[in-house]
Amino acid sequence: MEEKTLLKGSNLCKAYGDNLLFEDLQIEINKGTSLGIVGRNGTGKTTLINILLGVIKPDCGEVERCFNAKRMPYEVGVQMQDGYFEALLRLGEISNLFCDVYELPRSRGDELIKEFDLTHAVKTPLRKLSGGEKQKVNIILSILHQPNLLFFDEITTGLDSHSRNSIYKYLKDLRSKGLTMVLVSHYYEEIWNLCDQVLIFGRDKKLSQKAVKDLGDNAMSFSDNISNLVGGTEV
């Protein structure tokens, strides 16, 4: 595996019973790049992330990582589609807890809470935060330990336009800092603006990884081409 490659999946396949999600899947994530993943619901996008993270095993193929698997919690930051935290925990408490786990000064969490405009919510139970605020918490906890690779699985799905724009702003800022990111999204304009490459779960289980710039001259043409490849949009 090349030095610049953080993670590589070769000839991956996965099925649940008679339901084949994907086969012969190739994926490569290089340092300092951003990869988008698109496809209709149920095509295996989240399953693929779990395979790359080592949470589940593929039925065939292999995953190579540039770091030891035991270093996974330190090398990778993850925000999954259904993040869950104890509802009675307060923002400040969970920030301190994660800092303690990673043996970081608690001021690291305080800095991020300020950066994400959540200082007013430090003593607020997580269950009382808005959808957009909860997703900001997810981002904070995923980048707290300064990982080399970030996974965001549909981080803006279900949010109102104001919250989506706010989260998008922070993702764009992370991207500008050169962090390596994998972004699963149904919003193709996000992929256009944030990603270098896109992995497409297309019609008839056809898979392809392409450069974003090769799929359109602007966000609209890119979105139209992606929509045609995946067989329509689902939000």
Structure confidence by residue, pLDDT tens digits, 146-166:
998 999 988 887 778 887 888
- Residue 67 confidence (pLDDT): 82
**CB under 8 Å to 22, separation ≥6 — which residues?**
12, 13, 14, 43, 44, 48, 201, 205, 207
Average model confidence (pLDDT) for the chain? 88
- Residue 82 confidence (pLDDT): 60
Domain 1-67+148-235 indexed as CATH 3.40.50.920: no
Beta strand ranges found along the chain (DSSP E): 5-16, 19-30, 34-39, 60-65, 76-79, 149-153, 180-184, 197-201, 207-211
- Residue 199 confidence (pLDDT): 95
- Residue 232 confidence (pLDDT): 55
Q: What percent of the chain has pLDDT over 90?
A: 56
- Residue 234 confidence (pLDDT): 44
CA separation for the pair 105, 108 (Å, rounded): 6
Contact 51, 151 (CB under 8 A): no
Q: What is the DSSP letter of 203?
A: G
Bridge partners of 216, per DSSP, are none
CA separation for the pair 155, 153 (Å, rounded): 5
Q: What percent of the chain has pLDDT over 70?
A: 95
- Give which of 87, 108, 88 is closest to 99, Cα–Cα: 108
- Residue 2 confidence (pLDDT): 58
> Phi and psi dihedrals of 187, rounded to 5?
-95, 100
Contact 200, 210 (CB under 8 A): yes
Average pLDDT rounded to a whole number, residues 167-172: 84
Contact 185, 36 (CB under 8 A): yes
- Residue 27 confidence (pLDDT): 92
- Domain coordinates of the chain in residue numbers? 1-67+148-235, 83-146
- Residue 57 confidence (pLDDT): 95
CA separation for the pair 225, 228 (Å, rounded): 5
Contact 66, 60 (CB under 8 A): no
pTM of the model: 0.87
- Residue 42 confidence (pLDDT): 87
Q: Which residue has the tokens 């991207």?
A: 175
pLDDT band at 235, cuts 50/70/90? very low
> Residue 101: helix, strand or coil by DSSP?
helix
**Which has more confidence, 2 or 89?**
89
Structure confidence by residue, pLDDT tens digits, 107-145:
999 999 998 899 999 999 998 998 888 888 988 999 999
